[in-house]
A and B are shown apart, each in its own frame.
Chain A
């Protein structure tokens, strides 16, 4: 059973035109150049991973796509038309859904209500029927509640539906947040660090669920967990200092000396080299991919010897 997308809408989905196309996007916060001339695209039914050190501009890119941040220059095209003055609440209508870094659930609403919130663009009961408690409003409510409940069931967290987010295990919260994004039946899913704080088993489970979406929607995912990114993504875009360092398949990215040097740290070609960054968090996964020569350490602090660039 596909998550969050019914067959009919899959067929209708106008994938004739390209998915998300970002061209020469520049975002400047005062003197800080957060994104510099970034171009990337997400094709229909493609899972694209965004990796890069903290502060590389990944979330800024998400914010630009979802309308929280206005680009200084460049265009964002979605299904062939440019997104210029869209606001975050327009995303649902556009067929884009986003999860937030962390959890981002409303803590006064039950898990189920949080999910239903995501369906807001699909609800049409007018104010008068809502105030009057009329059939039109309550039927719609019931339908969407049922939908949300079954979606939570598909994600395996149905029994938590009526609890407040604070009472849920972190992994369940993450899935509730994912359900909230999926209920709007998006064609593009923007996931901001969906795996942070999850155990390996939970991560495997969730990444399987994300991969299961692939036949229906495009996914753009920011993630520091390299094992997830390598296993899940069709293509990986590497960011550093607000620029795209490279883009390619997981194998290409791993094999690229440029990338390992710029992002993955200094421990290249040898495993004896002690980690250069003392602040490295042991909690974060390091994973060796068979055939890869680099030791991959996710999310190191911005390497001092990384590609030095003049920042605005």
Chain B
């Protein structure tokens, strides 16, 4: 440890770390064995472009998917998309900001009734309806978020739970406005020309989901996203850093509620009717569980959660049919299966499905190290990659993530970071890093686990000696290749 402080000031002539344009090329020629400690991935520089790539790829994927499946599947894919929106908001709230909501179904109700009432009384077009639903739910989120910002997790859970219980009663109370038990009907948007209306609706829902996740990813990468995470980790440290803690929490709550509102409005299109039966309390709980299953803080993981949410009831229905169980048993079976899946997910992949996928991907990549297949893949991916990554002169550092698989003790650190009690650590480092491309700078967390472990584990004396040699430290060769492999991995996730 003693050598650390006495070390001379940084060797790098340019501490800002602006990139040499030839680094990527050198990396290609070098092709050193990968998978060593310190291997890193360099991601495309401009986050917005990166997120846009996801948007376009996702849109292409869903277009191909929806045009090749039945109408009923289109309906389900649309539902998955709208739940992805809700889960994205919830993931931001819990994964990035460390707040909890057991009552996100309530914000979905607000969005859904807003849409239905607007269709009934005003004609603002589908864009106006959806934007209004989002904004009104977000406003409700502000109202709930202001007291919520002062509450610690258990109380917050209680308050939001009350919200989910109480809000549906309002619509029964004011039946003349909200249609009572029957609720209100909605008219799904009619597609242009001969497009199947179910497919059109699915496209709208998918478009909204991709757009919302794109925007959330941008937000997570901005100073607001960093403030969310700082508040999650340490409110006092965040405050002395100049972050307005309460305002940050309210903002996170509002954004999250807005997402739920939009999801609720889109769900109202799918179901054609808005009433309380559509939004039981169990929905709110299921949302939270699905978010954890997907991976808290991961905006790719929300898709896994959404798939689980939508298909779980279908599967359990057919399962109970197979075993000739009654309809009431089927309803409970769905919840039971969901609970089992949640437990399995937490045990097997505490960072959610997305975290698990990334872990497997890293292991698989290491298995390929040095093989011709890996060389070919690297070459192809580098060729495909946008050139911007080497041109913008972005600091080398904060785009960097490792690809090393987590070492053996990874399980331990994961468990530590995901207690069932679910404070902010549920979202812990891993899960957030689970989706580094989207949630931004969290990617470093993987780094620490991968290459930093022996440092942390060793004595401080050793630590100083482990200091990377210059060649290692600025190892640009590996970074490029990993980056693209990474992209590959991510591309295949939706």
Contact of B432 among A104, A108, A117, A146 (CB under 8 A): A108
For the complex, give the distance between the alpha carbons of A138 and B218 in Å: 9
| Residues A164 and B452 in contact, CB atoms below 8 Å apart | yes
Chain A stretch 25-55: residues in CB contact (< 8 A) with chain B:
none
| Residues A149 and B2 in contact, CB atoms below 8 Å apart | no
| Residues A138 and B48 in contact, CB atoms below 8 Å apart | yes
| Residues A117 and B9 in contact, CB atoms below 8 Å apart | no
Residue from A134, A149, A150 whose CB has the most chain B CB atoms within 10 Å:
A149
| Residues B444 and A163 in contact, CB atoms below 8 Å apart | yes
For the complex, give the distance between the alpha carbons of A153 and B51 in Å: 30
Q: List 24 A-B contacts (CB under 8 A).
A: A87-B244, A88-B239, A88-B240, A112-B441, A113-B229, A113-B398, A117-B238, A117-B241, A117-B243, A130-B223, A131-B222, A133-B47, A133-B51, A133-B214, A137-B222, A140-B223, A142-B395, A154-B15, A156-B4, A162-B444, A169-B1, A172-B4, A199-B1, A205-B5
Contact of B223 among A137, A163, A184, A205 (CB under 8 A): A137
Chain B stretch 383-437: residues in CB contact (< 8 A) with chain A:
394-395, 397-398, 400, 424, 427-429, 432
Using Cβ atoms and an 8 Å threshold, which residues of chain A touch B447? 110, 162-164
Using A125-B222, A130-B218 as known contacts, say yes or no to A106 and B5 having CB atoms under 8 A apart: no
- Which of B100-108, B200-208, B460-468 lies at the interface? B460-468
Instruction: Tell me, yes or no, whether A89 is within 8 Å of chain B by CB.
Output: yes
Closest to B394 in A: A142
Using Cβ atoms and an 8 Å threshold, which residues of chain B touch A134? 48
**Min C-beta distance of B285 to chain A, whole Å:** 26
**Min C-beta distance of A297 to chain B, whole Å:** 24
| Residues A113 and B236 in contact, CB atoms below 8 Å apart | no
Chain A stretch 75-123: residues in CB contact (< 8 A) with chain B:
87-93, 97-98, 100, 104-110, 112-114, 116-121, 123
Contact of A91 among B12, B242, B395, B473 (CB under 8 A): B242
Instruction: Tell me, yes or no, whether B318 is within 8 Å of chain A by CB.
Output: no
Residue-wise, chain A 135-148 has the 8 Å CB interface mask toward B (1 for contact) of 00110111001100
Contact of A109 among B233, B251, B467 (CB under 8 A): B233
Of all A-B residue pairs in the complex, the 8 with the closest CB atoms, nearest first, are: A133-B48, A92-B242, A130-B222, A106-B233, A153-B15, A167-B452, A133-B218, A205-B5
Instruction: Tell me, yes or no, whether B215 is within 8 Å of chain A by CB.
Output: yes
Instruction: Tell me, yes or no, whether A201 is within 8 Å of chain B by CB.
Output: yes
Using Cβ atoms and an 8 Å threshold, which residues of chain A touch B17? 146, 149
Instruction: Tell me, yes or no, whether B121 is within 8 Å of chain A by CB.
Output: no
Using Cβ atoms and an 8 Å threshold, which residues of chain A touch B467? 159
Instruction: Tell me, yes or no, whether A161 is within 8 Å of chain B by CB.
Output: yes
Closest to B233 in A: A106
**Min C-beta distance of B224 to chain A, whole Å:** 5
Using A127-B224, A167-B455, A202-B1 as known contacts, say yes or no to A145 and B448 having CB atoms under 8 A apart: no
**Min C-beta distance of B288 to chain A, whole Å:** 20
For the complex, give the distance between the alpha carbons of A133 and B251 in Å: 17
Using Cβ atoms and an 8 Å threshold, which residues of chain B touch A225? none
Interface residues of B (CB under 8 A from A): 1-2, 4-10, 12, 15-17, 46-48, 51, 214-216, 218-219, 221-227, 229-230, 232-234, 236-245, 251, 394-395, 397-398, 400, 424, 427-429, 432, 441-442, 444-445, 447-448, 452-453, 455-456, 460, 463-464, 467-468, 473
Using Cβ atoms and an 8 Å threshold, which residues of chain A touch B5? 156, 171, 198-199, 201-202, 204-206
Using Cβ atoms and an 8 Å threshold, which residues of chain A touch B9? 153-154, 156
Closest to A208 in B: B5
Using A117-B226, A120-B227 as known contacts, say yes or no to A98 and B460 having CB atoms under 8 A apart: no
- Taking residues whose C-beta sits less than 8 angstroms from the other chain, chain A's interface range is 35 or more
Using A104-B236, A149-B395 as known contacts, say yes or no to A170 and B460 having CB atoms under 8 A apart: yes
For the complex, give the distance between the alpha carbons of A107 and B218 in Å: 22
Closest to B239 in A: A88
| Residues A201 and B242 in contact, CB atoms below 8 Å apart | no
For the complex, give the distance between the alpha carbons of A180 and B236 in Å: 14
| Residues B230 and A106 in contact, CB atoms below 8 Å apart | yes
Using Cβ atoms and an 8 Å threshold, which residues of chain A touch B395? 142, 145-146, 149
Using Cβ atoms and an 8 Å threshold, which residues of chain B touch A210? none
Using Cβ atoms and an 8 Å threshold, which residues of chain A touch B225? 130
Using Cβ atoms and an 8 Å threshold, which residues of chain A touch B427? 108
Instruction: Tell me, yes or no, whether A69 is within 8 Å of chain B by CB.
Output: no
**Min C-beta distance of B300 to chain A, whole Å:** 17
| Residues B1 and A163 in contact, CB atoms below 8 Å apart | no
Using A125-B222, A166-B448, A167-B456 as known contacts, say yes or no to A104 and B442 having CB atoms under 8 A apart: no
For the complex, give the distance between the alpha carbons of A68 and B225 in Å: 24
Using Cβ atoms and an 8 Å threshold, which residues of chain A touch B12? 153, 158
Using A108-B233, A149-B16, A170-B460 as known contacts, say yes or no to A66 and B240 having CB atoms under 8 A apart: yes
